Structure 1
Amino acid sequence: MDWPLPPGEAAAIAVSGGADSFALLHWAWKAGHPVVALTVDHQLRKGSAAEAQAVRTFCSERNIPHETLIWRGEKPSTGIQAAAREARYRLLCQACERMGIEHLLTGHTADDQAETVFMRLRRGAGRGLAGMPAERKIAAGPGELITLHRPMLSVRRALARAYAETQGLPFVDDPSNEDERFERVRVRKLLAELEDRELLTAAALCQTADKHAVNRFADLETQVHWNMPYEKRDGAFEAVHADDDNVLRRAQRAVGAIGPIDPEAITFDEPVLDTPDVRFGAMIVAGVQSGREYVDVVYREPAALLGRADGTPGFEPIPAPPSSKHLYDRRFIVEVPDDAPSGLHLRPLGQLLPRDIATSTLARQRISTLPSLAEGSVLTHLPEQATGAVTEALSGWKQCDSFLSTVSGTFRARSLLAERFSGDVIRY
């Protein structure tokens, strides 16, 4: 196993108390790498606090900084493993950001990789067969990016356990690893049987992951070009070049879109491309179809944030105190100004407009999903990049001036569409 960081670079290690993570921690400590151990207590079963304390004691005896992170609050009745995973990474990222640590290591092994590939294969995954990357960017909501490393993806679980036993490490076996209600447990037992019969090996599944990881990045490199003319607009919108429909579909997923919108209506020569703030919160996808160049605008579906006719609720306003940061609709990081008044809420602009105005034209549909700050139902702040788009879209509405007269400032809303399109960042 190779240490993934430059010498002397600090890292946090997620230590559950199991053999794999304990082996990684001990190996790093013995090699002299500066590390901090982080243990997440999910509070899902008896004994979890004692297990976290055992890790803390082990670290204290070796002068390894350690912190226990507790998943508080009500736990879901279904999908508990997925919810616990999301909570775990969110807590780990928050701790890293608070400590000023930019790297997080986990003890995922080759067996974990093989199980992941097998589970994705049975779902008919395509790019998902790349499995878990050895390195990727993650973050807690609107927080700073943390680099997640998995240095043990080439190490078999049995070898990690043998190391932990040889070193006398006080690891414990999580009883949930024997609970066949969980898919991964069933897959783990099935793969062990298939490997015993020489029908399918963990090595073969890991090779599949490696091949798909290479192909995935080759796909992005050949199909996506971020330096198109449309992007010379101060980040007001994102542009990608599509050589096939797969890129267009990825753009739609990134935006959460109802597009593409009327591909015949928008061309390279249309003057509207000179007013980029109209595209704020959308993606422009350029490509070739049947030998003809085209540009499609993909934008967010208003009903997803404003509510649907069947009674499905829309976006729940978020309290937005001064100087706070928020992940909005997974499309923006919103930074509330330091001088903003207290009592504001972050909400879609369309929630403050009359419903018939919010979706009466294409331009108004686009701005209706933009973030805004409001005091009750009164608009107070707009995104600094979109003020022109809002004014233009609402022009002709007789109440436009009075509606905008309450705006006292702007805020920064950083677009996340590029990272959502590439899929290289996960925000928990």
Structure 2
Amino acid sequence: MPAAPEPVSVDETARVFAGLTPHERIVLAVSGGSDSMALMALYGRHRSITPEAPDAVVVTVDHDLRAGSAEDAGFVVDAAERLGFSAIVRRWTGDKPGSDIQAAAREARYRILREAASEQGATAILTAHTRDDQAETFLMRLARGSGLKGLSAMPATRDLGGVELVRPLLGVGRDRLRATLHEAGIGFRDDPSNGNTRFARVRMRALMPALASEGLDAKRLADTAARLARADRAVDAMVERLAATHVEVHEGGFLSCPVAVLTEAEEEVRLRLLVAALGWVGGGVYGPRLEAAERAMARIIGDPVARMTLAGTRLVRRRDRVFVFREAGRAGLPRDHVAPGGSLVWDGRFRIALAPDAPDAVTVAPVGTAWRKLGGRGYDGRVPAAALAAVPAVYAGGDEAVAVPAFGHFADPRWAGSIATGFASPPPGRRL
């Protein structure tokens, strides 16, 4: 008979929260489930014996997806206050999607947590992902046919729109967290969806006892994911070197690469480079499925006139180069408004700011066919016209663009000093 799980010790608690000292204030994301309640309890312990521990506020998100969700939020607030934390509830409002609800809820939750952190002056958000979550995620991605990056472990930290997302409990099993709660006399509430086999994670969780009996327990699976993450970082370094040498990034937000470079590179490296290019050019959060990227790469290498769309982008091979640029899609690219003194990220690709003393409010939209007369003619003739048409232009009430910064076009010198633009994220290559 296996030994009963041990609660998390005081020394372990100090270790899992040791990296938080650069932060003055943090958010604890608490749902009311056992994992997040243990996170809150452990941080309460840590704070009580660590004078330099950051101040913390508990944030619980009411997804409003079922009856009783408001009561669960109230349960969290009461528990937080008993442990000496201030707590706030944020509700996911608006229409909910009819399919893929878990992914939509996750995206909404992170957005709400990020907004709450900003309001509270917090620079980090702590979530209660465990070793079991790591193992379940590995199995889910394995079933989907993910490659090396997808099978790599969830990182302990990552950037979440300017706030650090921290997962301090990735090395701790769920059974030990529940033992910790039991020892402290703290309750928790299980989300009913955790038993709904309609969700892949629930089905994978149900497989864990059988896998553990064959030696594939959560620790073994999580360790495998961590080793794959180590290999993944090595491949990323190779991709970065290749991109810095051979990928040309144009100020208009598109890029190109010699086909010969892709042909000569190791298959995993060139696929990773393609996925990075698609993600950056497409401005999207999620890249293509691995199978789709493999098919696209085969066409790029094998067909001298290859053309295709993938992940919000278009790929066009012209002689010895392949160009990757934004696809307008059926709905077209955004038309976003910016007031003087305001800023925005346009299409997930460009950060655009308007000076407080700008002549007028503006609209940011694609330049379209006007690129020919607004500075786009200076580009290499091999660049597809559709790539130039997707470049952002700035309009001030009329049909004529007052500025196309990527082309160096400004209708009036006042606009040149009023508009600041840049890429929203670092490009995978060298800028021209």
Q: TM-score, normalised by structure 1?
A: 0.73
**Aligned-pair CA distance for 1:123:** 1.5
* Alignment partners' CA distance in 2, 1:321 and 1:69: 28
* Cα displacement (A) at 1:250: 2.8
Q: Name the amino acid aligned to 1:94.
A: E
Q: Is the 8 A contact 1:358 1:365 kept in 2?
A: no
| Correspondence for 1:109 | 130
**May I ask how many residue pairs the two structures share in their alignment?**
365
- Tell me whether 1:137 sits opposite 2:137 in the alignment: no
Matched, 1:178 2:203: no
Q: Which residue in the other structure is 2:8 paired with?
A: none
Kindly provide the CA deviation profile for residues 378-425 of structure 1, in whole angstroms up to 9, marking residues without a partner as x.
Answer: 2455354x142x58xxxxxxxxxxxx579945522321353679xxxx
For residues 405 and 180 of structure 1, do their structure 2 counterparts lie closer, same or farther at Cα, with a shift above 3 Å needed?
same
Q: Which residue of 1 aligns with 2:44?
A: 29
2:331 maps to: 313
The answer to whether the 8 A contact 1:106-1:149 is kept is yes
Residue 92 (structure 2) aligns with: 71
Corresponding residue for 1:414? 422
Equivalent residue number for residue 21 of structure 2: 7
Alpha-carbon contact 1:23-1:163 (below 8 Å) kept:
yes
Tell me if 1:246 matches 2:268.
Answer: no
SS in 1 for 2:426: helix
Q: Distance in 1 between matches of 2:60 and 2:320?
A: 48
Aligned residue number for residue 382 of structure 1: 403
Distance in 1 (alpha carbons) for counterparts of 2:349 and 2:42? 39
Alignment of 1:236-385 (within 5 A): 243-244=265-266, 245-256=270-281, 296=321, 298-301=323-326, 304-305=327-328, 307=329, 312-340=330-358, 344-350=362-368, 362=383, 364-375=385-396, 378-382=399-403, 384=405
Partner-residue secondary structure (3-state), 1:5: helix
Q: Distance in 2 between matches of 1:134 and 1:8?
A: 16
1:151: how far off? 0.9
Change (3 A) 1:364 1:12: same
1:75 deviation in Å? 0.6
- Aligned residue number for residue 150 of structure 1: 167
Q: Work out which of the residue numbers 195, 220, 230 in structure 1 matches 2:236.
A: 220
Q: 1:115 to 1:381 in 2, by over 3 A?
A: farther
**1:193 Cα shift?**
2.9
Q: Which residue of 2 aligns with 1:426?
A: none
**Counterpart Cα distance in 2 of 1:78 and 1:406:** 50
Percent identity, please: 31
Corresponding residue number in structure 1 for 2:64: 43
**CA RMSD of superposed structures (Å):** 3.9
Please give the per-residue CA displacement for 1:111-154, whole angstroms capped at 9, x wherever unaligned: 10000000111112111111311111112xxxxx1111111111
Q: 2-side partners of 1:69 and 1:420: how far apart?
A: 36
Residues 106 and 364 of structure 1, relative CA distance in 2, 3 Å threshold: same
Contact 2:351 2:423 in 1 (8 A): yes
Structure 1 residue 160: Cα displacement: 0.8
- Partners of 1:300 and 1:231 lie apart in 2 by 12
Match of 1:95 in 2: 116
Deviates more, 1:318-327 or 1:88-97: 318-327
* AA aligned opposite 1:30: R
What amino acid is the match of 2:193?
A: S
Letter in 1 for 2:348: R
Structure 1 residues 221-273: Cα deviation after superposition (integer angstroms, max 9, x where no partner): 23313765999999998899975423441343134479979x99xxxxxxxxx
SS of the residue 2:189 aligns to: coil
Q: Where is the helix percentage greater, Structure 1 or Structure 2?
A: 2
Q: 1:412 to 1:379 in 2, by over 3 A?
A: farther
Q: Is the 8 A contact 2:252 2:391 kept in 1?
A: no
Counterpart Cα distance in 2 of 1:192 and 1:325? 51
Residue identity in the other structure for 1:326: L
* Residues in 2 aligned to 1:338 and 1:297: alpha-carbon distance in whole angstroms: 40
Structure 1 stretches lacking a partner, 5+ long: 140-144, 265-281, 283-293, 392-403, 422-428
Q: Structure 1 pair 368/70, CA: closer, same or farther in 2 (3 Å)?
A: same
